[in-house]
């Protein structure tokens, strides 16, 4: 993928783009909704007005049904209607003569007697014997023109009614509704814009977040690369230092001070090697590259071998290190053998490191089809507050008793990650100046369950 491709740009700035899309989309949705809402109201009101005009025509027909043969009586009815129905803007009644329509009664009496010709709407209504309606506009006002035949009691078409009903009141209501709708729209948009301006640093934070992610990736890559590059020379130095210590007599290194220097070099390279291994594990875990070879295995021998390896360290400090397992217990789990041993070395090694006098006891048992391993020491212990942060990356208990104890603060974090990758759990109980107990728990393999 090209460095400056549109896809790469979108991935790096998706938060900013998302905010801009919201800024445009939210007002846009409100505007579209307001327009759709107003048009819907307009359609409903127009339909309602049209139906009302037809009802007016039917009411007039009902009032004239026995007077359709008398133009004088029809005019009297029209005059009465004009006085009591102000929203009816015009009312004309025609007789049909020789395919033309002659006005016989009207709100405007001066037009009575005039022929209206044969308009198409009139012809349609007369031919279909059914009302016909048409929307018209005049002087910026909307009207509905309704033309319908007036029938006598026998259902015969005797005259033709033409009336217009004003939509002025409905238009006023619609105008008020739209005015308020647009006002709310403008206020909403204003609030959105003010909110975005008030949180304008969001864009800066988004860009900064993307940069931090890039730096974090670069950091992981650098740690991985640097650890690999350092591992080889440190291993060589450590190997030669150990070889020189072992062969000091053969190499005629008689100076005791020189031997001490070699010992210091050896200890320092061991610490550096441990640090490099920890950094490599951190990098692999964070990038999801830590390989696990899960297999079914018994852990009793692994624990026993680990205790034997670390017994030399315990004996050097005058500590008692012992391992005890429940008799006749099948301690078979699914795990990575090397990683499990790494976990045990780290935890038992920590107990030795933080126990000035006393003992470290390692136990293994089957509890509810789970393997439970406990590592209990009589060390310096820790407070409840210190326990809360124990498994955090780079965290170390800092007090007068730990000032001279070396460590990176990565071991327990790495241990916890490895345990969880093997479907296990790790917990700690500790009392300051009394001791600490670490508990590991793994589900037993199916063949080990009873």
pLDDT tens digits for 171-195? 676 677 777 777 777 787 777 777 7
pLDDT at 44 over 90: no
For residue 286, what are the CA distances in angstroms to 218, 325, 385, 432? Answer: 13, 35, 26, 32
Q: Which domains occur in the chain, in start order?
A: 29-173 (3.30.450.20), 204-286 (1.10.287.130), 296-448 (3.30.565.10)
Tally the C-alpha atoms within 13 A of residue 339's C-alpha that lie toward its C-beta: 22
Which residues are within 8 A (CB) of 376 and not within 5 positions of it... i.e. 6 or more apart? Answer: 360, 361, 362, 363, 435, 436, 437, 438
From the CB of residue 181, how many other CB atoms can be counted at a distance below 10 Å? 18
- The whole-chain average pLDDT of the chain stands at 80
For residue 232, what are the CA distances in angstroms to 39, 225, 273? Answer: 77, 12, 10
- Here the tokens at position 85 are 């129905």
* Residue 196 φ then ψ, to 5°: -70, -40
Strands 132-138 and 157-166 come out as unpaired
Q: pLDDT, tens digit, for every residue of 106-155?
A: 998 888 888 888 788 888 888 888 888 787 777 677 777 888 899 988 88
Torsion of CA 7, 13, 14, 19, to 10 degrees: -140
For residues 290-295, give the mean pLDDT: 87
Higher-scoring residue by pLDDT: 252, 307: 307
* Residue 389 φ then ψ, to 5°: -105, 5
Sign of dihedral through CA atoms 222, 223, 224, 228?
positive
CB-based contact 436:383 (threshold 8 Å): no
> What letters, b where the CB count within 10 A reaches 16 and e where it falls short, cover 28-50?
eebeeebeeebeebbeebbeebb
Question: How many DSSP H helices and E strands does the chain contain?
Answer: 11, 12
For residues 190-206, give the mean pLDDT: 66
What is the share, in percent, of the chain residues with pLDDT greater than 90? Answer: 26
pLDDT of amino acid 217:
67
Residue 1: pLDDT band (50, 70, 90) is very low
**Beta bridge partner(s), residue 160:** 94, 149
Considering 67-81, 84-98, 114-128, the range whose residues carry the highest mean pLDDT is: 67-81
pLDDT of amino acid 274:
75
pLDDT of amino acid 170:
64
CB-based contact 122:147 (threshold 8 Å): yes
Q: Which residue has the tokens 């440190």?
A: 234
pTM: predicted TM-score of the whole model, two decimal places: 0.50
pLDDT of amino acid 2:
46
Segment among 69-78, 271-280, 419-428 with least mean pLDDT: 271-280
pLDDT at 66 over 70: yes
* Residue 404 φ then ψ, to 5°: -95, 5
Residue 37: pLDDT band (50, 70, 90) is confident
């Amino acid at each position: 993928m090209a460095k400056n491709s549109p896809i790469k740009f979108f991935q790096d700035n998706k938060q900013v783009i998302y905010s801009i899309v919201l800024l445009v989309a939210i007002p846009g949705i409100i505007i579209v909704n307001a327009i759709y809402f107003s048009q819907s109201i307009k359609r409903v009101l127009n339909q309602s007005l049209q139906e009302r005009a037809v009802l007016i025509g039917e009411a007039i027909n009902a009032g004239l049904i026995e007077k359709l043969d008398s133009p004088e009586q029809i005019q009297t009815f029209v005059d009465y209607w004009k006085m009591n129905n102000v929203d009816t803007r015009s009312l004309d009644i025609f007789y049909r003569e020789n395919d033309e329509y002659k006005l016989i009664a009207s709100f405007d009496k001066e037009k009575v007697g005039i022929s209206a010709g044969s308009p198409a709407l009139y012809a349609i209504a007369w031919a279909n014997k059914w009302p016909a309606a048409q929307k018209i506009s005049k002087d910026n006002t909307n009207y509905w023109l309704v033309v319908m035949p007036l029938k006598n009691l026998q259902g015969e078409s005797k005259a033709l009614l033409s009336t217009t009903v004003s939509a002025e009141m409905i238009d006023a209501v619609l105008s008020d509704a739209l005015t308020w709708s647009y006002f709310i729209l403008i206020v909403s948009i204003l609030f959105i814009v003010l909110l975005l301006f008030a949180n304008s640093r969001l864009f800066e934070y988004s860009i900064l977040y993307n940069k931090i992610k890039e730096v974090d990736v670069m950091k992981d890559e650098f740690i991985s690369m640097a650890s690999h590059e350092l591992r080889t020379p440190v291993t060589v130095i450590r190997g030669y230092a150990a070889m020189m210590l072992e062969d000091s007599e053969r190499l005629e290194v008689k100076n005791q001070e020189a031997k001490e220097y070699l010992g210091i070099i050896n200890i320092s390279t061991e610490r550096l090697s441990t640090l490099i291994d920890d950094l490599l594990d951190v990098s692999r875990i964070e990038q999801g590259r830590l390989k696990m070879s899960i297999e079914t295995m018994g852990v009793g021998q692994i624990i026993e071998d680990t205790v034997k390896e670390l017994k030399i360290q315990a004996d050097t400090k005058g500590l008692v290190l012992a391992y005890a397992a429940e008799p006749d217990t099948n301690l078979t789990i699914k795990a990575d053998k090397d990683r499990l041993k790494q976990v045990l070395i780290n935890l038992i090694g920590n107990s030795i490191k933080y126990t000035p006098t006393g003992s470290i006891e390692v136990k293994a048992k089957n509890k509810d089809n789970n393997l439970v391993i406990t590592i209990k020491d009589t060390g310096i212990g820790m407070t409840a507050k210190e326990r809360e942060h124990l498994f955090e990356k780079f965290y170390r208990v800092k007090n007068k008793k730990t000032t001279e104890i070396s460590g990176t603060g990565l071991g327990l974090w790495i241990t916890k990650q490895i345990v969880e990758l093997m479907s296990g759990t790790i917990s700690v109980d500790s009392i300051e100046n009394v001791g600490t107990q670490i508990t590991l728990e793994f589900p037993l393999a199916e063949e080990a369950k009873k």
